[in-house]
Chains A and B, each alone.
Chain A
Amino acid sequence: MGGYSALRLLREGLRDQRGWRPAWRSPKLRKAYDIVIVGGGGHGLATAYYLARNHGITNVAVLEKGWLGGGNTGRNTTVIRSNYYYPESCALYDLSLRLYEGLSRELNYNVMFSRRGMMILHHSEHEREIAARTVNAMRLNGVDAELLDRDEVRARAPLLNFGEDARHPILGAVWQGRAGTGRHDAVAWGYARAADRLGVEIVQNCEVTGFIVEGGTCKGVETSLGPVRAGRVGMAVAGHSSHLAAMAGFRLPLTSYALQAFVSEPLKPMLDCVVASPAHGVYISQSDKGGLVMGGALDRVPAYGQRGNLPVQEDVLGGLVDCFPAIARVGLLRQWAGIVDVSPDSSPILGPSPLPGLYLNCGWGTGGFKAIPAGGLVFAHILAEGAHHPVSAPFDLTRFERGRLIDEGAASGIAH
């Protein structure tokens, strides 16, 4: 398997594209591994990659019940940003952003990270004060941030509704220039290919049905393809974390909801940054193909069905038309939903579970995609060392007992 390059592309073009090989192997499940990772989404695959690259542990299996990246990794709106409030969050999400910046080169796989910038609008004097506070907090945490006024917002996104009759008048925005979007499938595939090349085994269509527990310690998993023993087990299964936790005999502080997203028919370029409006409860960007990629608030109904309900569709699309009146007659191409695991403080849960030998990477809620590289890096550290990475320590499950929550739900002011 050669690397991907422009030269290779040219050569294969001249050879009728007959030289390409599968990007990763499809090995048979073995009986035992040093580490088994449940969940072949971005976080699971990134974890496997960093286990091999940073810790030299290659006797690793990633078990995926469906296909790689078929869950939330392939269902999000691809926004990558680190405009959080608390130092703990900025450390985690900005680590992720910095890893994204070099990811295409590192993985030899184009994840199409486009640093197009993001603005979070504010629509009232009160929101403006909170926005100024957010900008200050981000800067203190070493993250780039600017406060834009109305004219600066208009210069960046002239199609926004600046009219007198706007339901929420635009006063300004918080700008993060290093934020952007990426190709979400490519992130999963890039990590899968890179991990596979380092010796990790990726087994698809392999559903975990239970845990092997001996002497009060997790010693492996039961799967649809038979039992697998492991020194340590990590789970990175997003919306299904509570379901797996129930198999392991404990509960998590998570509720699973459907989060919907939409993409429009392709249009000529009309928006070259990401725009979010907490007051409308919506966010939007334009993909490289021209489709408007849009999302909004959660469905308010706990759910495991990957569909999404009509009331939220109405709210989101109505809010977007309020923001961008010009798109009122644009047709939708697709609509879908992913099942997100929302924690009480909208921050992830990383580290040991109540069952020794089983480790958690969950609770990312609506923001897991942007965190894939950092989530994988710190989770690999946790699985390799059996102890926290400095960045992951504040996100331990015990914070709920200690009362030391990292309440980003309230701090970011978005309706998640």
Chain B
Amino acid sequence: MQVYTCPFCGLRDEREFFFAGEAGAARPDTTGPVSDAEWADYVHMRRNALGRAREVWMHLTCGELFVMERDTLSARVLESVALRAEPGSGEGAGSAEASGGPDSASGPDGEGAP
């Protein structure tokens, strides 16, 4: 069983987490006209990256959403950052690596928890 890091609760069983979507998708600005292509791009198109991916996850037991960086090939978790903090600022509590495997020693790059 793999464990993921919730920025608020620490290491928890993967079954407590829900994949909410890719991070960084910006909703079209509806104050102006939005074309069908722009809506389709926002609603349906995905990076679906092989390798490093930034995703929004929810920790179901505490109900918080956060950004998790994972490697989609190795399943290794690279970083977990609370959404309320600026990504990379290190202010999201507990930005830390977590992985199910014993070979998870390689830490996240740019991890800045003070």
Task: Of the listed stretches A92-100, A285-293, A296-304, A406-414, name the one at the interface; the rest are far from the partner chain.
Answer: A296-304
Alpha-carbon distance A252/B44, docked complex (angstroms): 8
B45 CB contact (under 8 Å) in A252, A300, A403: A252
Q: Any chain A CB within 8 A of the CB of B72? A: yes
Task: Of the listed stretches A14-22, A114-122, A305-313, name the one at the interface; the rest are far from the partner chain.
Answer: A305-313
Interface size grouping (class) on chain B: 20 to 34
Q: Which of B24-66 contact A (CB under 8 A)?
A: 36-37, 39-41, 43-51, 53, 55
Alpha-carbon distance A311/B45, docked complex (angstroms): 28
- Residues of chain A within 8 A (CB-CB) of B50 are 240, 242-243, 256, 304
For A251, A254, A302, A344, which residue has the most chain B Cβ atoms within 10 angstroms? A302
- Residues of chain A within 8 A (CB-CB) of B49 are 242-243, 246
A344-B48 in contact (CB<8A): no
B5 nearest CB across to chain A (Å): 15
A305 CB contact (under 8 Å) in B14, B40, B48, B73: B73
B105 nearest CB across to chain A (Å): 18
A310 and chain B: residue at smallest CB distance: B1
- Residues of chain B within 8 A (CB-CB) of A400 are 40, 43-45
Q: Which of B1-27 contact A (CB under 8 A)?
A: 1-2, 14-15, 18-19
B55-A302 in contact (CB<8A): yes
A-B contact count (CB 8 A): 72
- Residues of chain A within 8 A (CB-CB) of B75 are 301, 303, 305, 307, 309
- Residues of chain A within 8 A (CB-CB) of B53 are 302
B44 and chain A: residue at smallest CB distance: A253
Q: Which of A223-271 contact B (CB under 8 A)?
A: 240, 242-243, 246, 251-256
Q: Any chain B CB within 8 A of the CB of A214? A: no
Q: Which of A370-408 contact B (CB under 8 A)?
A: 400-403
A311-B14 in contact (CB<8A): yes
B73-A253 in contact (CB<8A): no
A311-B37 in contact (CB<8A): no
Alpha-carbon distance A238/B65, docked complex (angstroms): 30
B46-A242 in contact (CB<8A): yes
B52 nearest CB across to chain A (Å): 11
Q: Is the interface of A mostly helix, strand, loop or mixed?
A: mixed
Alpha-carbon distance A243/B53, docked complex (angstroms): 12
Q: Any chain A CB within 8 A of the CB of B89? A: no
A303-B72 in contact (CB<8A): yes
Q: Any chain A CB within 8 A of the CB of B104? A: no
A245 nearest CB across to chain B (Å): 8
B48 and chain A: residue at smallest CB distance: A242
B46 CB contact (under 8 Å) in A240, A253, A310: A253
- Given contacts A300-B19, A302-B53, are A252 and B48 in contact (CB under 8 A)? yes
B36-A251 in contact (CB<8A): no
B72-A305 in contact (CB<8A): yes
- Residues of chain B within 8 A (CB-CB) of A302 are 19, 48, 53, 55, 72
Q: Which of B44-102 contact A (CB under 8 A)?
A: 44-51, 53, 55, 72-75
Instruction: Point out residues on B near A: beta carbons under 8 Å.
Output: 1-2, 14-15, 18-19, 36-37, 39-41, 43-51, 53, 55, 72-75
Instruction: Point out residues on A near B: beta carbons under 8 Å.
Output: 240, 242-243, 246, 251-256, 300-305, 307, 309-311, 344, 400-403
